[in-house]
Amino acid sequence: MTIKTLFAATGILVLLPIGSVDAGWEWTFPYSGNTCGQGQSCANTIKNERSYSGTSTSSEAAPDVTATAWSNPQSSPYGEGLLGQRYLASYGGGLGVVNSSGDGDHEVDNQGWIDSVLLSFDAAVTLSDITFGWVEGDSDFTLAAYRGDGTDGGTDLTQWEYDQLVTHGWEVIGSYFAAGSSTQPDVASGADPVSFDVNPGGKSSSYWLVSALNPRLDDGLGSFANTFKDKFKLKSAAASAATTPTPPHQIPEPGVLSMLLLGLVGAVWLRRRRTRWAPQRGKPAD
Residues 6+ apart with CB under 8 A from 261: 10
Instruction: Return the closest-CA partner of residue 70 out of 108, 27, 117.
Output: 117
Of the candidate ranges 33-47, 137-151, 266-280, the one whose mean pLDDT is the lowest: 266-280
Residues 6+ apart with CB under 8 A from 139: 132, 178, 188, 194, 230, 231, 232
Taking residues 219-230, report their average pLDDT: 74
Burial of 23-39, coded b for 16+ CB within 10 Å and e otherwise, reads bbbbbebeeeebebeeb
Q: Hey, which of 40-44, 127-131, 220-224 has the most confident mean pLDDT?
A: 127-131
Q: What is the pLDDT of residue 74?
A: 80
- Would you report the helix, strand and coil content of the chain in percent, each value rounded to 5? 15, 30, 50
Helix (H, G, I), strand (E, B) or coil at 98: strand
The pLDDT > 90 percentage for the chain reads 50
* Per-residue model confidence as pLDDT tens digits over 263-281: 555 555 556 555 554 555 4
Q: pLDDT, tens digit, for every residue of 173-198?
A: 999 988 764 455 555 556 788 899 99
Give 201: exposed, middle or buried? Use CB within 10 Å, 0-12, 13-18, 19+.
exposed
How far is 270 from 276, CA to CA, in rounded Å?
10
Closest CA to 171 of 222, 114, 218, 108: 218
Query: Could you read off the pLDDT of 70-116 as tens digits, one per residue?
Result: 999 887 788 899 999 999 999 999 999 988 766 667 899 988 889 99
- What is the Cα–Cα distance from 64 to 235, expressed in whole angstroms? 16
What is residue 226's predicted lDDT score, i.e. its pLDDT? 62
At residue 181, the pLDDT reads 45
Among 4-18, 105-119, 238-252, which range has the highest average pLDDT?
105-119
